[in-house]
Every structure is written in C-alpha cells, then in structure tokens.
Amino acid sequence: MYVSLRDVAARSGVSFQTASKVLNGRSGVVSPSTRERILQAASELGYVPNAMARGLVRRASVTVGVLADDYSDLAVSQFVLAAQRAAAGRGHGALISSVHANVDAELAVRKLLEYRVDGILVAAPSLENEPGLGTALRGALPVVSINRIHGGGVPTIGSDHAVTGTLAAEHLLGLGHRRIGTVIGPRGRRVVLSRMRGFRGALRDAGHPIPARRVTEADWTHEGGWAATHRLLDANPAITAVFVHADVMAVGALKALAERGLRVPDHCSLVSCDDLSFAGYLVPPLTTVRIPFQETGERAATLLLDRIGGQSIPARNLLPVELIVRESTGPPPGG
C-alpha cells in the first residue's frame, strides 16, 4: 500500500498543504527545520510522489501514451523502447497500450485519454486501414504515428520504403542476377506496396521486369517465410536470388533453401529488410536494408513532446535507410 501525502503530514506534524509544497520542491515556504522534519518523515515512511496526481493538479499529465501493435514484432518493440527512453530523458513517463486487429482501437485510445496523457505515439501498422482509429485520434490531443492513420490528419515518421526495394534490387542486379524472386509481406499493407514499387521499378528500368509468378506472399513470420520460399521455388526452380521483405521471414527462407540443398549465396542469394539484431549472426550473415527503428522511436517521441510544448512539426518525416552487405549475397552460379 502506498504512503500518502497525508501520512507524511501527520508524521511530521504539519498540514497537508505544507507537506505538499515541500515535497513538490517549493523553496522558502517553511523554516529549514520544518522542511527537514517533513523530508525525514517522507524518508522514514517510504513516500513516493504520485506523478499522475501532480499532473492533474497542474492540468497536464507527465505521461505519454503509446498505442502499439503486439510486442512480439521486433520492429515495433524497438520503436517503443526507444520512444520510451527518449520521453524519459525529457521527464515524461510512458503508458503503453497494446492493440491488434481484434482489439477495439477506439476503446484503447479512450483508455489512454482517461489517464490524462499529454499526447499519443502510435506504432500500430496492422491498424493503418482502421477508420475508427483515425476518428479517435483526430482531436485536440497531439499525436505522432509511425504508420499511416486512416483519414490522415496525424503527423507521421518513418522511412521511404520504395528506396528500400530499390536498394535491394540494385544490389542483386549489380551482382549479375537476372532471375530474381521475392517473398513479400501481406498484400495491401503500405510498406509492402512501397517496397514493391521500388523493387519492380528498379528491375523494370534495368530491362528485367519481375513476372507475377516470382512474387509470393507471407505473413511476417519465420513459418510464413519458410512456406512462401518453398512455393516460390516450386514455381521458379531456376531463380538465383530472393528478396524477402523482413529479416524474420528471411530466417524461414534460409531454412527452406537449405532443405532444398541450395547453399546461400553459392546457389541462391538472399537479401532482406530491417537489419534486426540477429541478422549479422545468421549463417550466413544476412545482407539486409537497415530500417532505423530506434532512431525513428527517438525522433517520434521528440516530435510529440515538441508538439505538446506548442511547437509546430512537419506532417511527414522520413529517416534514411541503408543497405548492409554481408555474406548472404554474391554473384549467380556461373556468374
């Protein structure tokens, strides 16, 4: 059970108001001996300030709300942790609410508002087409999102994923690959559409457009990447390189290639996206396009706190991506 301000006041023999002023850092309101007595009582009782109560007294909380997809998504978890650290660095806590496709997003937003958060960070790509989320978020409260919000009106921060697809395609083309396949994320997701726009465009401009049979869909999981790679190879046994839309799916792709006796990169090259922490420790280490998840989280928190402070912020903010070349890509067989 938490010790209250009234407990501290009673122990030190002063009024509630006096104890509150001292413990909230106001100087000159009492004599040094009384101040010392109040601080001593607080220490003996183990008093911890109630941040939410102090925020309500000031008509502003000291908490940032975070609305995020399932934290088993390593990309989302990196963003959330980085945003939380950045908020803490400026004196704010973070109240995190988990959402997904089967959760009432409007209710989740209302719950954060009930806690009088200063603003909301959104990291819920699975809800980018959810009209109710957009309706709930558009209001007087400052909001910043890493994903598109249905109906717009919310500043976003992220990366140009068309560039991600272009970098992957140009890398494979530069190595001499022409029979290239791809394992994409769920069709209709904006990140997938953007990556495919860049990937297709680079191949087309080089005179090697990718046919539909070389595009296979998966679900962002190891298992999905594994199954999709088998389907891709069944339909295209002669391909020499695969572009996978996420490092997590690339783990499954590596397993599928190994099960078919295809060595990476001797028989088939593999390039992915994200550059998650494990990418350099796979066998072979994974060539991937680095998405700056942590930097995005830090920047998102900074933008939101600036907005809370009354500053204007850009409607769209893009951070650069970078191709990280490791040992999973090389020239095609015989090349």
User: Would you state the structure tokens that stand for residue 10, as one six-digit string?
Assistant: 């009673």
Over the chain (335 residues), the average pLDDT of each successive run of 10 is 79 86 76 87 79 51 80 82 88 82 78 85 88 83 90 92 97 98 94 97 97 96 97 97 97 98 98 96 97 94 91 92 98 88
Q: Which amino acid makes up residue 55?
A: G
Q: Is residue 57 part of a domain?
A: no
Check residue 132 and report its DSSP letter.
Answer: H
Cβ atoms 199, 182 nearer than 8 A:
yes
Report the number of distinct structural domains present in the chain: 3
Question: What CATH number corresponds to the domain at position 76?
Answer: 3.40.50.2300
Q: Is residue 55 part of a domain?
A: no
CA dihedral of residues 276, 277, 281, 286 (deg, nearest 10) = 20
**Beta strand pairing call for 287-290 and 322-324:** antiparallel
Query: Same structural domain for residues 266 and 276?
Result: yes
Query: Same structural domain for residues 297 and 154?
Result: yes
Check residue 332 and report its DSSP letter.
Answer: P
- Measured between alpha carbons, how far is 148 from 283 in angstroms, rounded to an integer? 35
Query: Buried b vs exposed e over 276-303: b needs ≥16 C-beta within 10 Å?
Result: beebeebebebbbbbbbbebbbbbbbbb
In DSSP terms, 322 is beta-bridged to 290
Instruction: Write out the residue range of the structural domain in which residue 228 sits.
Output: 161-291
Query: Same structural domain for residues 104 and 88?
Result: yes
Using CB atoms within 10 Å of the CB of residue 211, give its burial: 0 to 12 exposed, 13 to 18 middle, 19+ buried.
exposed
Query: Same structural domain for residues 28 and 90?
Result: no
Q: Is residue 286 part of a domain?
A: yes
Query: Same structural domain for residues 259 and 167?
Result: yes
Q: Can you say whether the dihedral through the CA atoms of 319, 177, 276, 228 is positive or negative?
A: positive
Question: What CATH number corresponds to the domain at position 13?
Answer: 1.10.260.40
Query: Buried b vs exposed e over 10-36: b needs ≥16 C-beta within 10 Å?
Result: ebbebeeebbbbbbeeeeeebeeebbe
Query: Same structural domain for residues 149 and 168?
Result: no
Compute the C-alpha angle 184/188/190, nearest 5°.
85
Per-residue confidence (pLDDT) for residue 167, from 0 to 100: 98
Q: Which amino acid makes up residue 189?
A: R
Query: Same structural domain for residues 222 and 252?
Result: yes
Q: Is residue 58 part of a domain?
A: no
Name which of 73, 70, 54 is nearest 62 in CA terms: 54
Enter the pTM of the model. Answer: 0.81
Q: What is the residue-wise DSSP string for 161-212?
A: HHHHHHHHHHHHHHHT--SEEEEE--TT-HHHHHHHHHHHHHHHHTT-PPPG
Check residue 3 and report its DSSP letter.
Answer: P
Half-sphere exposure of 274 (CA within 13 A, CB side): 26
Query: Which residue matches tokens 């976003």?
Result: 156
Order of all β-strands in the sheet with 180-184: 215-217, 180-184, 241-244, 269-274, 287-290, 322-324
In the three-class reduction of DSSP (H, G, I as helix; E, B as strand; rest coil), residue 231 is classed as: helix
Name which of 333, 320, 296 is nearest 166 in CA terms: 320
Per-residue confidence (pLDDT) for residue 127, from 0 to 100: 85
Per-residue confidence (pLDDT) for residue 59, from 0 to 100: 46
